[in-house]
Structure 1
Amino acid sequence: MSSETTVKSALHRSSPSKSSIKEPEVDEVDDDDMWCNELQQKDLLLPEAEPKKQELSRKYSNLADIAIRLMIVLIFFKLETMPAFKREIHVEELWLYKNPIRPDIVKSGDLLFLVITVPFVLTSVVYAFTKDRRDFRAASWAWTLAVCMNSIPTSLLKITVGRPRPDFFYRCFPDGVMLLNETASALGSALLDFNCTGKPSIINEGRKSFPSGHSSFAFASFGFVTYYVGAKLHAFDARGRGQTWRMCISVIPLIVASLVAVSRTCDYHHHWQDVTVGSLIGLFSGYISYRQYYPSIFASNAGKPYVRWPNLKQSETDSIREPGSEACSSLLGKQTSKWC
């Protein structure tokens, strides 16, 4: 009996009392913390599923970009065949349109070849040195967009404004004999009602002086080349200031475009106002197209293309470097960062 009492007392001493048992401390979970945790868990799952969706989106986006460019080209060729507005000519301004007919100093076919070839060759050479496929793709999208975007306003203004070219008189009357009827305008000045004897297609082309297509296309393409080269050489940001050779190389394309534009006044195909406005249209088209794919040329990360699909794994060739190419990588703006 005494032994049984001893065992019970021992068990009583060894068993913890309810008051002595401590409940495990549980941290209070805030609703915001729970929401953040759920977001983090979703983010952990995204890298596995999201790339496939982004890859599909990228393909559809590329197809849409190509389709838009092709559509713009078709619209441009359609606009080129449409008749221009027939603007009245006053007697006192006839001298503006009575210049002799001269052949093109820069032929349209030659300009088209340069507009397409120069940016393509340049971006291909940069790719050969850097092996940066993202940069090559971005540059290709940019300069093709610049040329296409420039074509619509240029051609549309030509047929809606209908300004005669400086050599319009001899397009209208190839033999120099003017046939017309004079009618009084509301302002009291005489209007020249031309009875043109020239070829209709040549006459219609003679009414498309404003703006200059040669000037706009030259500045759209070569303007992009200036932005692209200037950004790669850091000619416009803090890293390239004070280094004249960078700036000189960058502005060479603009000098070429200026010569093309000025030539249109020398062969009497355009007035100086046509050349000026055409050049501004080309510069603007080239710049906004460049900015669609690249940061500002004055930014610290100039020359590095935007990342359109950040979560997609880049091809291994994006990081390949040819032997000896490291020296030129920093010069061309290819650096290891989140932009590359």
Structure 2
Amino acid sequence: MAPHDSSSLFSVSFDEPLLPAMPIPQFLRFGSDDAHYRCSQSPMPGLRLLVISYAPDWIVTLVLAAVFFALDKVNGFKREFSVSDTSLRHPFAEHERVPDPALYCIAIVAPLVLQWVIDLLTIRSWWDAHSSALGVILGLSITGAVTQFTKITVGRPRPDVISRCNPAPGTVDPPFGLSSVSICNQSDISKLRDGFRSFPSGHSSLSFAGLGFLSFYLAGKMHLFDKRGHAPKAWIALTPLSGAALVAISRTMDYRHHWHDVLVGSILGLVTAYFAYRQYYPPLQSEFSHRPYAPRSRDADDVLPVHAHRPPSAGGVYSGVNLGESRRSEGGIYSDHMDQDEEHVELNGTVRKGGPGPLTDVWNDGGDAGVVDEDTLHR
């Protein structure tokens, strides 16, 4: 069977004039088990449906971002401390190594811009640009909201809290007890309030959320886990995480956080980044790791450069069968059009070499050089 040409599935031509918008005769349908979506409308209604179907995603991310900034003004819990605790007597750094504006550029602007550049250099899909932007902002919003909520409820003192507190000379802890914020003579309320928000580190969590998403994005585009091994790919994918680690380390150098705060914040950001990445992208070991998931709207096929899900033929190349006309087997795998030969049998003592062909061919051809995994089939 001749290989199926999938190049048309990943590009959109705007040379032809768009048809006039027509009324939409049906309600939006979110999600489906169908493997192939057809668009019976003109491109403009399909595009309109697509935008509307992802409006809740953007609303949630923006609301979470607003929560992040709003919680910063909340007068949270302030834990008691000991004025004789040497871990809290570090000097207050007037100039941080990574101030807030620099953090926003590193954690938010840099991943967004770099992902769009990478998309332009590889698959050139505006749907991928949308998915990567939505994913990274979702990860940052969740991380920021969780970080701020934890900060104001835990109320852990920073390593420089006594310097911020500015207690009277000779102040000591009460007998058999600890000191509270009432001993402080700090006139700057925001400075004192921030002194009890050490856990977890916001710089660490946000930098790992943004740059961590970029790292996963790079790994997917390069097929880092293609069972072949490639040291330069690994270093490229880990470079954003190195930048996030430097930001996190700088917080201990400025005495803004204890090492526990930095460690927990880094883990929180990295885990949330992967969670957000998997909402819109397949697993990193997938043959389609360089492509975002197809949109949820049924009527987006004629306006989006997305991959169709096709089973492999005998030669390992997709046969181009319309899965909308096929049937699922009892095991949940599309089997009506699958070749039932022994191509998947591995020789004793060996394993079949996995992964796609050259990356340029994968990006141009949509990854049709290998066998699609079951997770991608069911998406």
> TM-score when scaled to structure 2?
0.67
How far, CA to CA, are the matches of 1:96 and 1:141 in structure 2? 40
Find out whether 1:335 has 2:323 as its counterpart. no
Q: 1:234 to 1:317 in 2, by over 3 A?
A: closer
CA positional deviation for 1:48: 3.0
> How far apart, CA to CA, are the structure 2 residues paired with 1:159 and 1:312?
43
CA distance in 2, matches of 1:78, 1:296: 34
1:291 has 2:283 as partner: no
Offset at 1:332? Answer: 5.1
Give the structure 2 partner of residue 323 of structure 1: none
Larger Rg: 1
Counterparts in 2 of 1:316 and 1:90: CA distance versus 1, 3 Å: closer
1:268 to 255, 267, 277: 255
* Residue of structure 1 aligned with 2:210, choices 210, 221, 227: 221
- Bigger drift between 50-59 and 261-270 goes to 50-59
Give 1:207's match in structure 2, choosing from 174, 189, 196: 196
Match status 1:71 vs 2:63: yes
Matches within 5 A, 1:183-198: 183-184=174-175, 189-193=176-180, 194-198=182-186
For 1:28, the equivalent position in structure 2 comes to: none
Query: Which of 79, 95, 104 is residue 86 of structure 2 equivalent to?
Result: 95
CA distance in 2, matches of 1:164, 1:331: 51
CA contact (8 A) 2:40 2:299 kept: no
**Contact in 1 for aligned 2:39/2:302 (Cα 8 Å):** no
What is the alpha-carbon distance in structure 2 between the residues aligned to residue 249 and residue 334 of structure 1? 23
Partner of 2:6: none
Q: What letter corresponds to residue 218 of structure 2 in structure 1?
A: V
**Residue 83 (1) aligns with residue 75 (2):** yes
Unmatched segments (≥5 aa) in structure 2: 1-37, 308-357
- What CA deviation, in whole Å up to 9, does each residue of 1:248-305 have, x standing for no partner? 1100001110011011001100000000000011001111100000011122321211
Counterpart in the other structure of 1:249: 236
Query: Which moved further from structure 2: 66-75 or 144-153?
Result: 66-75
Going from structure 1 to structure 2, the CA distance change for 1:318 and 1:54 (only over 3 Å counts) comes to: closer
User: How does the TM-score come out when normalised to structure 1?
Assistant: 0.74
CA contact (8 A) 1:294 1:302 kept: yes
Structure 1 unpaired stretches of 5+: 1-45, 320-326
CA RMSD of aligned residues (A): 3.0
| TM-superposed deviation, 1:79 | 0.3
Q: Does the Cα contact within 8 Å between 1:179 and 1:195 map onto a contact in 2?
A: no
| Greater percentage in helix | 1
Deviation, structure 1 residue 313: 2.6
Offset, 1:246 = 0.6
Partner Cα distance (2:154, 2:364) in 1: 43
Q: Percent identity?
A: 32
Higher relative contact order (CA 8 A, sep 6+): 2
The Cα shift of 1:55 comes to 5.3
Correspondence for 1:154 among 128, 147, 153: 147
Q: Residue 279 and residue 190 in structure 1: after superposition, are their counterparts in 2 closer, same or farther (change >3 A)?
A: same
Amino acid paired to 1:128: L
